[in-house]
């Protein structure tokens, strides 16, 4: 190919790019090399502010634990974190009160088991300003996941103030009390047709708070007149709630459960479904 031919091709490509930019201009932020604020990455942001528990480890160090990504003990979320990262999501942690900037980088904001004074000397309660901020973020396309706990093991007043924005109330009771190895008492095996339960045979949730729902919320799973899981569409975003941390390591493999339970599959299904909603 002659030099003249190469120059003609380069000129044609340059002209085509200019036409494309004129017809479909980039947002100003993208043109400066920044990510537009309306674009959400696949980030699952785990709260460690309202759930802020610490312990002394074997070496005498004070360490954070209980429903966090790095906790590989029964109390941790390390297995859930691995499921999410294998699915292509990125996991992150928020150790302070939510801000607009912090939430904008997240697709899903996960609040689990807010502290009581028995768990943390000075609990960080969900404040009215936090509720306003979180609700606005959800309305704009974020997905909030609320995982409570049963009576005596979570803070309910402030959690319910947030949940009520979306038509959900945690009833502060304790269902599915399991004694010893009576796993049947914590078993659910009848499911509606729903993305969360695709391919799921049985799940295990023990000692959970049931829920009360009103519009715009609706039950996702109910049994015996009790609402176990709920979903609320709110603006462009959504909220999912269940009255237990559910996906902590103790019941995500066979370290405690007998074979045949599909908590890990349900976890993958849930977050795949919710990530598909986030930002749409």
95: CATH: 3.40.50.880
Note the pLDDT tens digit of each residue in 132-163.
Answer: 999 999 999 999 999 999 999 999 999 999 99
How many domains are there within the chain? 1
- Per-residue model confidence (pLDDT) at position 41: 56
Tokens representing residue 272 in the block: 């795949």
Indicate the pairing of strand 143-147 with strand 108-112.
Answer: parallel
Q: Would 34 be classed as within a structural domain?
A: no
pLDDT for 27: 37
- Is position 21 within any domain? no
Residue whose entry in the numeric block shows the structure tokens 């400066």: 32
Q: Cβ–Cβ contacts within 10 Å for residue 29, how many?
A: 13
Residue 28 counted as domain residue: no
Helix (H, G, I), strand (E, B) or coil at 71: coil
Query: How far apart are the C-alpha atoms of 124 and 127, rounded to whole Å?
Result: 9
Return the DSSP state at 48: -
Q: Can you tell me the distance from the alpha carbon of 61 to that of 59, in angstroms, rounded to the nearest whole number?
A: 6
Query: Which DSSP letter does residue 85 get?
Result: H
* Residue 6 counted as domain residue: no
Instruction: State the pLDDT at residue 264.
Output: 97
* Helix or strand holding residue 145 (H, E): strand 143-147
| Domain-embedded: residue 33 | no
Q: 219: Cβ–Cβ under 8 A, 6 or more apart, which residues?
A: 211, 213, 227, 228, 229, 230
**Residue 63 included in any domain:** yes
Residues 80, 247 contacting (CB under 8 angstroms): yes
Q: Give the chain's residues under pLDDT 70.
A: 1-41, 280
Residue 58: predicted pLDDT: 86
What residues contact 124, with CB distance under 8 A and at least 6 apart?
A: 49, 50, 52, 97, 115
Report yes or no on 5 lying in a domain. no
Residue-wise pLDDT for 13-22, tens only, equals 444 433 333 3
User: Under a CB-based contact definition with an 8 Å cutoff, are residues 104 and 42 in contact?
Assistant: no
Confidence at residue 57, expressed as pLDDT on a 0 to 100 scale: 86
Q: What phi-psi label fits residue 113: left (phi over 0), alpha (psi between -120 and 50 degrees) or beta?
A: left
Q: What is the pLDDT at residue 218?
A: 98
Residues in Cβ contact with 241 at an 8 Å cutoff, skipping those fewer than 6 apart: 145, 146, 147, 148, 163, 166, 168, 170, 211, 217, 229, 230, 231, 232
Bridge partners, 242 (sequence order): 147, 229
SS3 content of the chain, % helix, strand, coil (to 5): 30, 20, 45
63-84 in b/e form (b: 16+ CB < 10 A) is eeebbbbebeeebbbbbbbebb
Q: Is residue 1 part of a domain?
A: no
DSSP annotation of 208: B
| Full domain range(s) for residue 77 | 42-277
Across 31-62, b (16+ Cβ under 10 Å) vs e yields eeeeeeeeebebbbbbbbbbbbbeeeeeeeee
Query: Measured between alpha carbons, how far is 163 from 61 in angstroms, rounded to an integer?
Result: 35
């Amino acid at each position: 190919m002659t030099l003249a031919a190469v120059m003609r091709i380069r000129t044609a490509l340059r002209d085509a790019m200019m036409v494309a930019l004129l017809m479909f201009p980039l947002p100003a932020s993208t043109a400066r090399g920044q990510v537009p604020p309306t674009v959400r990455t696949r980030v699952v942001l785990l709260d460690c502010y309202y759930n802020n528990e610490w312990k002394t480890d074997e070496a005498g160090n004070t360490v954070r634990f209980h429903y966090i990504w790095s906790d590989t003990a029964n109390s941790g979320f390390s297995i859930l974190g691995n499921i999410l990262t294998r699915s292509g999501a990125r996991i992150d942690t928020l150790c302070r009160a939510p801000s607009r900037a912090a939430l904008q980088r997240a697709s899903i904001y996960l609040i689990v088991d807010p502290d009581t004074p028995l768990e943390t000397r000075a609990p960080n309660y969900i404040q009215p300003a936090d509720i306003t901020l979180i609700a606005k973020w959800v309305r704009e396309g974020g997905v909030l996941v609320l995982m409570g706990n049963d009576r005596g093991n979570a803070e309910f007043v402030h959690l319910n103030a947030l949940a009520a924005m979306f038509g959900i109330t945690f009833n502060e009771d304790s269902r599915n009390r399991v004694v010893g190895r009576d796993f049947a008492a914590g078993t659910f095996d009848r499911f509606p047709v729903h993305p969360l339960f695709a391919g799921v045979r049985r799940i295990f949730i023990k000692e959970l708070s049931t829920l009360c729902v009103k519009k715009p919320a609706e039950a996702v799973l109910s049994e015996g007149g009790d609402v176990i899981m709920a979903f609320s569409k709110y603006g462009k975003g959504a909220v999912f709630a269940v009255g237990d941390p559910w996906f902590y390591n103790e019941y995500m493999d066979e370290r405690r459960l007998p074979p045949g339970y599909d908590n890990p599959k349900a976890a993958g299904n849930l977050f795949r479904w919710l990530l598909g909603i986030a930002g749409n």
